[in-house]
């Protein structure tokens, strides 16, 4: 079973480059990891408070609205995709295959897996150098944290280097 680490909305430059320009990240990496044998176990003690969650989400949307005016402008005719990142749990592989509707992200937006394998193979080294190069962006702007008990959702915006490279001037 795979667990969600983050959901990202990625804005791409118009073709032919389709370079990632902005990435809006909603990270659930701080959520507790629960073994599959305990998925249906209820919380002990007091349940996490949910009464202020709607207000926290409203405040997050308002913050996103005000931050958008401070970001560098995007070129016309951009496209977007919604990307789900999975946790790097040991022994769990993403549900990719010929019969699944999942599509792997572009190499520049994929995290490198830590392996003990020898990286002396030149082809493998060239492939790895492209992986993750667009993560983190050239500029990151924190948005807001939403917390409720043990659950914490972090949000930030990354502006990619391609956004600044493609600007005229």
Reported as a single tens digit per residue, the pLDDT across 55-106 is 888 898 999 889 888 888 888 999 999 988 877 665 556 556 666 666 666 6
Q: Which residues are within 8 A (CB) of 4 and not within 5 positions of it... i.e. 6 or more apart? A: 28, 84, 85, 86, 87
What distance in Å separates the CA atoms of residue 130 and residue 125, rounded to the nearest whole number? 9
pLDDT class of 121 with cuts at 50, 70, 90: very low
What distance in Å separates the CA atoms of residue 14 and residue 80, rounded to the nearest whole number? 10
Check if the beta carbon of residue 32 is closer than 8 Å to that of residue 22: no
What integer pLDDT is reported at residue 45 of this predicted model? 65
Percentage of the chain modeled with pLDDT above 90: 9
Q: Which residues are within 8 A (CB) of 122 and not within 5 positions of it... i.e. 6 or more apart? A: none
Which strands sit side by side in the sheet containing 79-86, from one edge to the other? 79-86, 4-12, 20-27, 151-159, 139-148
DSSP label of 157: E
Q: Tell me the chain's radius of gyration from C-alpha atoms.
A: 19
């Amino acid at each position: 079973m795979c667990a969600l680490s983050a959901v990202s909305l990625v804005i791409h430059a118009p073709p032919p480059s389709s370079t990632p320009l902005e990435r809006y990240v909603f990270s659930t990496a701080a959520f507790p990891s629960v073994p599959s044998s305990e998925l249906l176990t209820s919380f002990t003690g007091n349940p996490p408070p949910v009464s202020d969650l709607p207000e926290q989400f409203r405040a997050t949307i308002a913050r996103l609205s005000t931050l958008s005016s401070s970001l560098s402008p995007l070129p016309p005719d951009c496209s977007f995709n919604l990307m789900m990142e999975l946790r790097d749990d040991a022994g769990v592989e993403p549900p990719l295959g010929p019969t699944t509707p999942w599509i792997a992200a572009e190499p520049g937006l994929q995290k490198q897996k830590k392996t003990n394998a020898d990286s002396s193979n030149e082809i493998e080294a060239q492939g790895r150098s492209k992986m993750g190069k667009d993560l983190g962006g050239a500029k990151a702007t924190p948005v807001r944290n939403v917390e409720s008990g043990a659950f914490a959702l972090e949000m930030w915006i990354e502006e990619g280097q391609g956004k600044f490279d493609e600007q005229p001037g």
